[in-house]
């Protein structure tokens, strides 16, 4: 599905990723862990550029349009699949079919009470779930998500993680919660200063060792 | 779900946009939108064929006209800037604020018409016509800049030194760049003002432009317009701080002419001309009321209605044009080459004074509101589109954001709409001021009645109408500020940070 061979990346003359070699087969649930600044976001970006058409994306800053409603923001995942006139009409007057589709997704993620509220009025956690819902609305086979549960409490985090891992075939998540990564993913890659320091199936990893290296 | 289905609430700026569109639609039946010329396309054709053969040859002294334009602008803007700066220091006095607001509310062309009556074609007329309204604007904007600046350093040393030294050490250095930026922007405006003052008789580019137009000499028209664009486009090359003293020294000699101020004239203007006729004739208060009543019903009221109708229609069209044009220069929609064409187009549209645009369109279509609406919308739309285009470049779009019209409708317009409305409402009062002066060209806005009163040498009536125009402007400005502050409240930090 993804293939990187000795990939490097730099930003403002500073190396962000060094000599990354990586294969990700279809169907894998992969967690990227590491401190902030270790290169997780940049690695996600590299992966995204490999096949942008097939990917649903949850960016770290959510990428929401705060003046539009939750409904419109989630619907944006569908823009590419619908005719332009349909999108424009739906922008001015929410249509019945998309309303139902979006509400279904929001129901799963426990946000349907905010369906028609402007995103600007939501809390950080609600905005994050809106961004997740948009990715689910898009419904690609692959999900790339940068810290998709960073603003959620434990209960909501588990809900979102299980939804994402069930909904998408291939999943690559950047995250810093090691327990969640161990629970929901089948492979973990640890990054440190732009280099891969761990790459192993979840089953072979020890929670305490990971916490020592990558814990907060 | 059926019973307690959530209702889709459109944001308040949607509702206000809708309200203004409805107002514009309601104005439509009252607007005269006819094309009166016999064959407008042929006229347009002749206009553009002039572009192929621009010629300065028939114009007596184009260089002199150019120098006059620059000299009036430099002297007017500099004096306005210096006096405005002093006034900014005492802008907290209500009286100063009110007087400045009233002076600002009168367009420089009206000031020029007034001073023409007092000083004739003496250079003082052009100087004051630019200097006075610019002083009032500078005072306001400089005061705003001072208010927003950081006062802490100043407050710390304020008591151990004189006010002036404290000001120069602790306030001016931080704010200097803002003053310079705004002042040089106003110099560009001053060049436009100085140009159009030619339309009422000053020896600037506009004088030759209007006579070339009226004679249908389109080759000359284009030559003069190109000269004007070059002047505006080259500002950054010839306006240098070091050269400014030189310009200031030379300019008085350029604008000097051999006309003299007649003090009899000045005296008569203040003691007779502008005194309402019934008072001059020693008639009673009831006669004065009747005089005012007739003036108000027969001229001011139709003038106000037409000015407002024109303004509301131009405002909506401006907004529409802005939304269509801003993508032309936005990195989110076009590649570099296409954007450079867009930039060129917008620069030409916003550099051309709306007065000249209206003049061109009136020549083509004859006197009705149509040319005025289009001229105002093209000019103001280009200004806001330029600002919005740059603003949209800074938007943080997701990696996977859609393209084309989907991106426009879902990602970009919702994000910039607040800023867009703020700019549009800011220009509302400016559009009203401009629509009043377009009356001089024959459209029956307030300016039409003012101009006719002046032509008939009934300056008492002209003064009353000018005061009414100023008050109308102050009203619209107040409403606009109210709406802007309300929208800002409902739009969150998105707009406040800009």
Write phi, then psi, for A17 (nearest 5 degrees): -130, 135
Is the pLDDT at B306 greater than 70, yes or no? yes
The burial of B334, by beta-carbon neighbours within 10 Å (0-12 exposed, 13-18 middle, 19 or more buried), is given as middle
Angle at A208 between CA A202 and CA A209, to 5 degrees: 75
B417 lies within 8 A of chain A by CB:
yes
Contact between A93 and B402 using a beta-carbon 8 Å cutoff: no
B109-163 residue pLDDT tens = 999 999 998 998 899 999 999 999 999 999 999 998 888 777 788 887 877 777 8
Number of domains in chain B: 2
Record: contact A59-B399, CB cut-off 8 A: yes
CB contact under 8 A, B398 and A68: no
Q: What is the pLDDT of residue B46?
A: 81
Across the interface, whether the CB atoms of B400 and A93 are under 8 A apart is answered no
Q: Which residue of A has its CA nearest to B414?
A: A67
Q: pLDDT class for B491, splitting at 50, 70, 90?
A: very low
Q: Do B7 and A116 touch (CB under 8 A)?
A: yes
The sign one gets for the Cα dihedral B25, B31, B34, B35 is negative
- A2 burial type by CB count under 10 A (0-12 exposed, 13-18 middle, 19+ buried): buried
More confident site: A190 or B50: A190
Question: How many Å lie between the alpha carbon of B6 and the closest alpha carbon of chain A?
Answer: 7
Mean pLDDT of B386-408: 88
3 state SS of B227: helix
Contact A41, A174 (CB under 8 A): yes
Tell if the CB–CB gap between B8 and A52 is shorter than 8 Å: no
Residue B400 and residue A48: Cβ atoms within 8 Å? yes
CB contact under 8 A, A88 and B399: no
ipTM: 0.84
Question: Which residue, among B245, B491, B355, B405, has the nearest Cα to A82 in the 3D structure?
Answer: B405
Quote the tokens at residue B198: 């030619």
Which of A47, A79, A99, A113 has the highest number of chain B CBs within 10 A, making it the mutation to test binding with B?
A79
Over the stretch B65-123, which tens digit does the pLDDT of each residue have? 999 999 999 999 999 999 999 999 999 999 999 999 999 999 999 999 999 989 988 99
The whole-number average pLDDT for the span B388-416 is: 89
Q: What are phi and psi of B201, to 5 degrees?
A: 120, -10
Co-location of B111 and B229 in the same domain: yes
Domain that holds residue B129: 55-262
Question: What average pLDDT does the segment B385-400 reach?
Answer: 88
Question: Are B351 and B425 part of one and the same domain?
Answer: yes
CATH number, domain containing residue A142: 3.40.50.300
B210 with B359: CB under 8 angstroms? yes
pLDDT of residue A215: 64
Question: Which of A48, A116, A118 lies at the smallest CB-CB distance from B6?
Answer: A116
Is the domain of B248 the same as that of B370? no
Q: Tokens for B322? A: 């802005």
The reported pLDDT for the residue numbered B175 is 85
> Which of B7, B398, B494 is nearest residue A66 as measured by Cβ atoms?
B494
Confidence bin at B320 (pLDDT 50/70/90): very high
Q: Which of B219, B239, B262 is the last residue of a domain?
A: B262
A84 CA: distance to closest CA in chain B (Å): 7
Average pLDDT value for residue range B17-26: 94
Give the neighbor-by-neighbor strand order of the sheet with A142-146.
A55-58, A142-146, A170-174, A29-33, A187-192, A195-201
In a domain, B8, yes or no: no
The dihedral over CA atoms of A62, A66, A71, A75, expressed in degrees to the nearest 10, equals -60
Residues B214 and B355 in one domain: no
Residues from chain B that touch A67, judged by Cβ atoms under 8 A, are 11, 414-415, 417-418, 491, 494
Cβ distance of B411 and A120 shorter than 8 Å: no
**Which pLDDT score, from 0 to 100, does residue A103 have?**
94
Task: Let me know: does A132 contact A165? Beta carbons within 8 Å.
Answer: no
Same domain, B46 and B86: no
Listed residues B262, B282, B305: the one ending a domain? B262
Residue B373 belongs to domain with CATH number: 1.10.3720.10
Q: Tell me: the pLDDT tens digits for B193-206?
A: 999 999 988 999 99
Burial (Cβ within 10 Å: 0-12, 13-18, ≥19) of residue A34? buried
More confident residue, B486 or B194: B194
Give yes or no: residues B146 and B279 share one domain.
no
Of A45, A67, A71, the CB nearest to B399: A45
| Structural domain contains residue B1 | no
Here the tokens at position B318 are 């401006």
Domain match, B95 and B65 both: yes
Question: In chain A, how many domains are there?
Answer: 1
**C-alpha of A16 from chain center:** 20
Q: Whose CA is closest to A118, among B42, B60, B415?
A: B415
Same domain, B361 and B226: no
Residue B5 lies in a domain: no
- Chain B residues in contact with A136 (beta carbon < 8 A): none
Q: Say yes or no: B30 and B121 in one domain.
A: no
Query: In this structure, are residues B72 and B204 in contact, taking their beta carbons and an 8 Å threshold?
Result: yes
- Residues B366, B418, single domain; the answer is yes
Pick from B7, B409, B494: CB nearest A88: B409
Rounded to 10°, the helix B205-214/B62-89 angle is: 130
Q: Are residues B121 and B212 in the same domain?
A: yes
CA proximity to B466, closest of B114, B99, B95, B96: B114
Chain A hits for B406, Cβ within 8 Å: 79-80, 84, 87
Residue B3 maps to a domain: no
CB-based contact, A88 to chain B, within 8 Å? yes
Tell whether B314 and B422 lie within a shared domain. yes
Long-range contacts of B293-296 (CB under 8 A, 24+ apart): B295/B461, B295/B464, B295/B465, B296/B468
Half-sphere exposure of A212 (CA within 13 A, CB side): 6
Q: Quote the CA–CA distance of B325 and B19 in Å, as a whole number.
A: 23
Can you point out the beta strands (E) in chain A? 2-11, 14-24, 29-33, 55-58, 142-146, 170-174, 187-192, 195-201
User: What is the DSSP annotation of B26-76?
Assistant: HHGGGS-----SS-HHHHHHHHHHHHHS---TTSS-HHHHHHHHHHHHHHH
Cross-chain residue pair B415–A67, CB shorter than 8 Å:
yes
């Amino acid at each position: 599905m993804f293939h990187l061979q000795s990939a490097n990346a730099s930003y403002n003359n500073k190396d962000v990723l060094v000599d990354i070699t990586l294969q990700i087969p279809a169907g894998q649930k992969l967690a990227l862990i590491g401190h902030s600044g270790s290169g997780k976001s940049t690695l996600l970006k590299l992966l995204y550029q490999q096949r942008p058409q097939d990917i649903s994306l949850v960016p770290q800053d959510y990428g929401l349009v705060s003046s539009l409603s939750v409904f419109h923001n989630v619907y944006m995942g569908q823009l590419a699949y619908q005719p332009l006139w349909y999108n424009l009409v739906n922008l001015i007057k929410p249509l019945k079919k998309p309303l139902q589709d979006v509400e279904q997704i929001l129901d799963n993620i426990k946000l349907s009470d905010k369906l028609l509220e402007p995103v600007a009025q939501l809390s950080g956690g609600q905005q994050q779930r809106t961004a997740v819902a948009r990715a689910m609305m898009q419904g690609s086979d692959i999900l790339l998500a940068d810290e998709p549960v960073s603003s959620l409490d434990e209960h909501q985090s588990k809900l979102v993680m299980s939804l994402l891992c069930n909904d998408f075939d291939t999943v690559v998540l950047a995250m810093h919660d090691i327990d969640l990564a161990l629970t929901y993913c089948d492979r973990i890659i640890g990054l440190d200063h732009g280099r891969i320091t761990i790459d192993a199936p979840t089953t072979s990893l020890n929670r305490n060792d990971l916490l020592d290296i990558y814990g907060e | 779900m059926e019973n307690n289905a959530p209702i889709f609430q459109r944001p308040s700026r949607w509702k206000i946009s809708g309200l203004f569109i409805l107002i514009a639609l309601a104005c439509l039946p009252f607007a005269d939108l006819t094309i009166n010329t016999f064959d407008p396309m042929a006229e347009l054709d002749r206009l553009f064929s002039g572009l192929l053969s621009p010629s300065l040859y028939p114009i007596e002294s184009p260089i002199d006209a150019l120098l006059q334009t620059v000299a009036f602008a430099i002297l007017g803007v500099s004096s306005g800037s210096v006096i405005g700066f002093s006034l900014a220091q005492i802008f907290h006095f209500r009286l100063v604020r009110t007087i400045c607001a009233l002076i600002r509310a009168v367009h420089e062309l009206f000031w020029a018409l007034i001073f023409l009556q007092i000083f004739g074609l003496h250079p003082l007329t052009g100087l004051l016509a630019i200097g006075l309204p610019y002083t009032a604007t500078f005072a306001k904007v400089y005061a705003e800049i001072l208010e927003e600046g950081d006062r802490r350093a100043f407050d710390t040393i304020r008591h151990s030194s004189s006010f002036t030294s404290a000001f120069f050490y602790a306030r001016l250095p931080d704010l200097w760049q803002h003053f310079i930026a705004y002042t040089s922007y106003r110099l560009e405006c001053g060049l436009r003002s100085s140009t159009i003052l030619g339309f009422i008789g000053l020896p600037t580019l506009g004088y030759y432009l209007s006579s070339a137009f009226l004679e249908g000499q389109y080759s000359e028209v284009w030559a003069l317009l190109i000269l004007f664009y070059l002047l505006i486009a080259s500002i950054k090359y010839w306006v240098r701080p070091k050269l400014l003293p030189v310009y200031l020294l030379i300019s008085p000699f350029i604008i000097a002419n051999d006309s003299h101020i007649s003090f009899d004239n000045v005296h008569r203007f203040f003691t007779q001309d502008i005194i309402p006729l019934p008072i001059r004739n020693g008639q009673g208060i009831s006669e004065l009321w009747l005089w005012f009543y007739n003036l108000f019903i027969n001229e001011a009221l139709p003038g106000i209605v037409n000015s407002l109708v024109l303004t509301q229609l131009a405002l909506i069209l401006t907004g529409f044009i802005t939304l269509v044009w801003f993508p032309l220069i936005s990195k989110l929609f076009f590649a570099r080459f296409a954007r450079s064409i867009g930039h060129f187009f917008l620069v030409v549209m916003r550099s051309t004074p709306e007065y000249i645009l209206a003049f061109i369109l009136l020549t083509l279509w004859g006197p009705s509101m149509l040319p005025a609406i289009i001229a105002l919308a093209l000019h103001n739309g280009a200004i806001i589109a330029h600002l919005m285009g740059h603003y949209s470049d800074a938007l943080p779009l997701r990696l996977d954001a859609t393209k084309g019209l989907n991106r426009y409708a879902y990602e970009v317009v919702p994000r910039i709409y607040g800023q867009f409305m703020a700019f549009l409402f800011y220009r509302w009062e400016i559009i009203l001021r401009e629509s009043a002066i377009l009356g001089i060209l024959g459209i029956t806005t307030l300016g039409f009645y003012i101009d006719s009163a002046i032509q008939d040498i009934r300056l008492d009536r002209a003064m009353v109408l000018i005061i009414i125009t100023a008050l109308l402007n102050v009203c619209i400005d107040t409403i606009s500020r109210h709406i802007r502050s309300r929208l800002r409240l409902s739009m969150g930090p998105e707009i406040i940070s800009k």
